[in-house]
Structure 1
Amino acid sequence: MANTMILFVLCLYLSWVDFHHRRIPNRALLAGFVLISFLELVLSSPLEWLMAGLFAILCLLVFGWISYYKPLALGMGDVKLFALVCYGLGIRDFVVVLTVASLAALLVSLVLLLIRKANINCEVPFAPFVTMGLAVLLFMSEAS
């Protein structure tokens, strides 16, 4: 729960920066990584910490490969954000966040296309949608 709150607050800042400047600052991601690493080291077992790191590396490789071959579809800032979220939440919660974020981005993009505010080549910042996914995850954990 603490990792989710840290990621949510960090993503609020990253959403603002991504929306206004179309970039995700590495310093903010590094600060989030250090804070989450400290919490993982203190609050979880070494095996859980290792598994979280391995899943984050796998996430970084998979989405990095996509970004390398389709750089207009997915930026490296988004890839590093995905890896950080995967590291902080674990694979199951990461899948929930990514699914909600992708569906929200799809809906917003479709609406922008329908009202002709954007064309098919328009870039959409993805960090705000990751923040939405984290908000849904927080709501789901509070509701249960």
Structure 2
Amino acid sequence: MADIFDVVADTTRRDILGVLLDRHQAATEGVGEISVSDIVATLGLSQPTVSKHLKVLREAGLVGVREEGQHRYYHLVQQPLEVIEDWLIPFLSVDIAADAAALVEAGLGAEQRAFAESIGKTFADTAYKVTSVVKSVGPKK
């Protein structure tokens, strides 16, 4: 299996993941499936190109597929992305440690510092997720 970082390093695959994320978020029921032809139409890519990248994403466990006759419907599988999230969080929370140190200097108690640090980590995690979604649905360059 390919390294998850290598898989998402490709711009086209990230674009496909963005389309699948949009469908996932728009789904009122189920997993938010989308057909290969809809992905092709959305991204303006050739069907063979989309299929090639979907195969890589499928092998990495980032997408699931349901076959119905000759049609294939893909959906996002978020769990493998947790590896990337776990790797990134320490980098995103560097400022949180500095903020916690400033709180110590401000004379807050241990319980107050722990609470503030918890809020800071939650904020950093949420900010990262929002930034990722915004980037994934942003205009093509």
Report TM bin, short chain: 0.3 to 0.5
Q: TM-score, normalised by structure 1?
A: 0.35
Q: Name whichever structure is richer in strand by fraction.
A: 2
Q: TM-score, normalised by structure 2?
A: 0.36
Structure with the greater relative contact order (CA < 8 A, sep ≥ 6): 1 or 2?
1
Q: Name whichever structure is richer in helix by fraction.
A: 1
